[in-house]
Copies of this chain bind each other. A is one copy, B any other.
Amino acid sequence: MKQKPTLKVIAKELDVSVSTVSKALRDSKEIGEETKNKVKAFAKLYNYRPNNIALSLKNKKTKTLGVIIPEIVHHFFTTVISGIEHYANDKGYNVIVGLSNESFKKEVINLEMLANGSIDGFIISVAKETLSAKDYHHLSETIDQGIPIVMFDRVIDEIECDKVIVDDVKTSEKAVQKLINSNCKCIGIISTKDYVSVGRLRTEGYINALKSNGIKVNHNLILKIDDKFNSDDNLEFLEEQIHNYFETNEVDGLFAVNELYAITAMKVARLKGLSIPNDLQVIGFTDGVLSKHAYPPLTTISQHGFEMGEEAAKLLIDRLENTNEEEEPFKTTVVKTEIIDRETTKL
């Protein structure tokens, strides 16, 4: 086992000073050609690489980004991480991932654990518990300490920072409009409780679409699921709620605010003997593996998670590397969406 060489050992070995070695490796013109070559050759031979930690301490920047998400076993979030990684790596940044598991406490711990110099900035999608508790002090304090935050998907209006979102309202309008155009007479929505911003906004879009088509909004057709935690865990609960929903409503068009709700609704509908898309048309939100491989393949809205990730990383790194005296104003980037036509809708 050979230890990583440091400037000091190279210096001693070649009988020059540490500063000379450092300068030679950085190709400073202060150092003579001969010495430079000697040092470089030696460094190459022993595979010298500057110690990142020492550099971080000196430069007061770590070149790593902290990403905090509610869960990682989740297609959308991992797609976003891919995008973040891609852009970040390209710019020489590393990505350190923290999981909140939708828990406020874990979110706070993660933030504190990383805010002690380990990272230069955060990219975060807020936990449901945080959203419902409306306790954002950890976020504002972090920003206060000069650590920039970029929020994506689940954002908080009250906090001033860069944000990357999708136009949930407009997108949902489009989806519901598509159902209307496909001759659906009774369109329902399966959404989340209102404290989840995306659920609220998508419901808003659903209502807008109905209204602008002169359709009266029937609040029984709006199902708001209360899944505080990982929804995969209480699948039966979800199925039961959807089952009850179908018992009391005769829908022929359904808009679900995520894949799982859509897939589960399809499953329940199938059990009731409904044929998709003949008896019931379905549109989901988020284009994940489930949608693509479902039977029948689900018509859904692609959020372009990869682009969201890239954009979030870009916003963050831009801010980190902005050397201007004046602070840049905060930006909110809206990533465009797209309806992926598959087989759960007609037309």
Interface residues in chain A, defined as those with a beta carbon under 8 Å from any beta carbon in chain B: 1-4, 47, 49-54, 56-57, 62, 64, 71-75, 78-79, 81-82, 85, 89, 94-99, 109-110, 112-118, 141, 144-146, 232, 235, 260, 263-264, 267, 270, 288-290, 292-295
**Could you name 6 residue pairs across A and B whose Cβ atoms are closer than 8 Å?**
A2-B144, A2-B145, A75-B289, A85-B97, A95-B96, A263-B293
Q: Are A75 and B73 in contact (CB under 8 A)?
A: yes
CA distance A307 to B346 in the complex (A): 43
For A146, what are the chain B residues with a Cβ–Cβ distance below 8 Å? 1, 3-4
For A85, what are the chain B residues with a Cβ–Cβ distance below 8 Å? 72, 97-99
Q: Are B117 and A97 in contact (CB under 8 A)?
A: no
Q: Are B99 and A97 in contact (CB under 8 A)?
A: no
Closest chain B CB from A185 CB (angstroms): 27
Q: Are A117 and B54 in contact (CB under 8 A)?
A: yes
For A82, what are the chain B residues with a Cβ–Cβ distance below 8 Å? 71-73, 99
Q: Are A96 and B99 in contact (CB under 8 A)?
A: no
For A62, what are the chain B residues with a Cβ–Cβ distance below 8 Å? 53
Q: Are B94 and A53 in contact (CB under 8 A)?
A: no
**Beyond A82-B72, A95-B96, A290-B290, is A116–B52 a contact (Cβ under 8 Å)?**
yes
Q: What is the copy number of this chain in the assembly?
A: 2
For A235, what are the chain B residues with a Cβ–Cβ distance below 8 Å? 292
For A71, what are the chain B residues with a Cβ–Cβ distance below 8 Å? 82
Q: Are A51 and B94 in contact (CB under 8 A)?
A: no
CA distance A270 to B295 in the complex (A): 10
For A73, what are the chain B residues with a Cβ–Cβ distance below 8 Å? 75, 78-79, 82
Q: Are A74 and B78 in contact (CB under 8 A)?
A: yes
For A94, what are the chain B residues with a Cβ–Cβ distance below 8 Å? 96, 98, 113-114, 118
For A293, what are the chain B residues with a Cβ–Cβ distance below 8 Å? 260, 263-264, 267, 290, 294
For A114, what are the chain B residues with a Cβ–Cβ distance below 8 Å? 94
Closest chain B CB from A256 CB (angstroms): 13
Nearest residue in B to A73 (C-beta to C-beta)?
A: B78
For A54, what are the chain B residues with a Cβ–Cβ distance below 8 Å? 57, 117
Closest chain B CB from A149 CB (angstroms): 13
**Beyond A94-B98, A96-B96, is A51–B294 a contact (Cβ under 8 Å)?**
no
Closest chain B CB from A212 CB (angstroms): 34
For A72, what are the chain B residues with a Cβ–Cβ distance below 8 Å? 72, 78, 81-82, 85
For A1, what are the chain B residues with a Cβ–Cβ distance below 8 Å? 144-146
CA distance A293 to B295 in the complex (A): 9
For A57, what are the chain B residues with a Cβ–Cβ distance below 8 Å? 51, 53-54, 57
For A118, what are the chain B residues with a Cβ–Cβ distance below 8 Å? 52-53, 64, 94
For A81, what are the chain B residues with a Cβ–Cβ distance below 8 Å? 72, 97
CA distance A96 to B75 in the complex (A): 19
CA distance A288 to B3 in the complex (A): 42
Nearest residue in B to A62 (C-beta to C-beta)?
A: B53
The 6 closest A-B pairs by CB, nearest first: A295-B295, A51-B117, A52-B116, A96-B96, A53-B117, A73-B78
CA distance A78 to B98 in the complex (A): 13
For A115, what are the chain B residues with a Cβ–Cβ distance below 8 Å? 49
For A110, what are the chain B residues with a Cβ–Cβ distance below 8 Å? 89
